[in-house]
A and B are shown apart, each in its own frame.
Chain A
Amino acid sequence: DARVTQTPRHKVTEMGQEVTMRCQPILGHNTVFWYRQTMMQGLELLAYFRNRAPLDDSGMPKDRFSAEMPDATLATLKIQPSEPRDSAVYFCASGLGSGNQPQHFGDGTRLSIL
């Protein structure tokens, strides 16, 4: 089974440090999504790409978060500087676009900011 791969699975770091999370979408998928999951807010869409172009990042705090797709096999989500309130599980998902195809999720990065 093709899978979305996320690294690292867990990250613990101190406030103020830069955090980079990586995602390898399923080969052939042209849409990539970044979600943040917390107990309080549930699953929030942070940003998404179609054919590597960023289409919507309205869910992302622009001053500290950035999302890129340097190539079709890699998506990155960076936080700089990190804050304790960024502690959450970050999921990447990929899909075939057009909405009527389900998204396939990675295992997530569990981020703890001390």
Chain B
Amino acid sequence: AQSVSQHNHHVILSEAASLELGCNYSYGGTVNLFWYVQYPGQHLQLLLKYFSGDPLVKGIKGFEAEFIKSKFSFNLRKPSVQWSDTAEYFCAVNAYRDDKIIFGKGTRLHILP
């Protein structure tokens, strides 16, 4: 069965700091990978996705993620965070041709102004 592990439950950074949120998944086959963001009191929104091709994926709001197949990882990065990036971030994996997306437990990111 697929599973997703997010390394940090809670991250606190100052504005302009660089961000990297870890995500590892377990599944031996072809996968599709996602990062979703949930701002306080809101629904989950797609940040970026990887299906195939260039393993470095760029998303909205300056976020990017790198798929490293050998490490089963899909870490999220942003070079300089803003206060408005305060949110919860979910990594998710989907097995090729499966409908279901399996979510990690999320990382709460708090940016200090």
- A: residues with CB less than 8 A from B are 4, 31, 33, 35, 41-43, 45, 48, 50, 55-56, 91, 93, 95, 97-100, 102-108
- Cβ of B51 < 8 Å from any Cβ of A? yes
Q: Give 1 or 0 for each of B1-15: 1 = CB within 8 Å of chain A CB.
A: 000000000000000
Q: Is B74 an interface residue (CB 8 A)?
A: no
Q: Are B99 and A48 in contact (CB under 8 A)?
A: yes
A103 & B51 in contact (Cβ 8 Å cutoff): no
Measured CB to CB, the closest approach of chain B to A22, in angstroms, equals 15
> Shortest CB–CB separation between residue B36 and chain A, in angstroms?
8
Given A105-B43, A105-B45, A107-B42, do A99 and B106 touch, yes or no (CB 8 Å)? no
- Collect the chain B residues with CB atoms within 8 Å of residue A104's CB: 46
Tally of contact residues, B, Cβ under 8 A: 24
B82 within 8 Å of A (CB atoms): no
Q: What is the bound-complex CA distance between A102 and B44, given in angstroms?
A: 11
Complex interface: chain B residues within 8 A of A99 (CB): 32, 94-101
Give Cα distance in the complex from A43 to B106, angstroms. Answer: 8
From known contacts A98-B99, A99-B95, A100-B96, infer whether A42 and B105 are also in contact, taking CB-CB under 8 Å.
yes
**Quick check: is B77 within 8 A (CB to CB) of the other chain?**
no
Question: Judging by beta carbons under 8 Å apart, are B99 and A55 in contact?
Answer: yes
Report yes or no: B99 in contact with A50, Cβ–Cβ below 8 A.
Answer: yes
Tell whether B103 is near chain A: CB-to-CB under 8 Å: yes
Alpha-carbon separation in the docked complex, A99 to B42 (Å): 23
Q: Which of B83-108 contact A (CB under 8 A)?
A: 90, 94-106
Query: Per-residue 0/1 for B38-58: is the Cβ within 8 Å of any A Cβ (1 yes, 0 no)?
Result: 000011111001010000000
Compute how far the CA of A43 lies from the CA of B92 in the bound complex, rounded to whole angstroms: 11
With known contacts A42-B105, A42-B106, A99-B32, A105–B96 Cβ distance under 8 A: no
Beyond A42-B106, A43-B90, A43-B106, is A103–B42 a contact (Cβ under 8 Å)? no
| CB nearest neighbor in A for B6 | A42
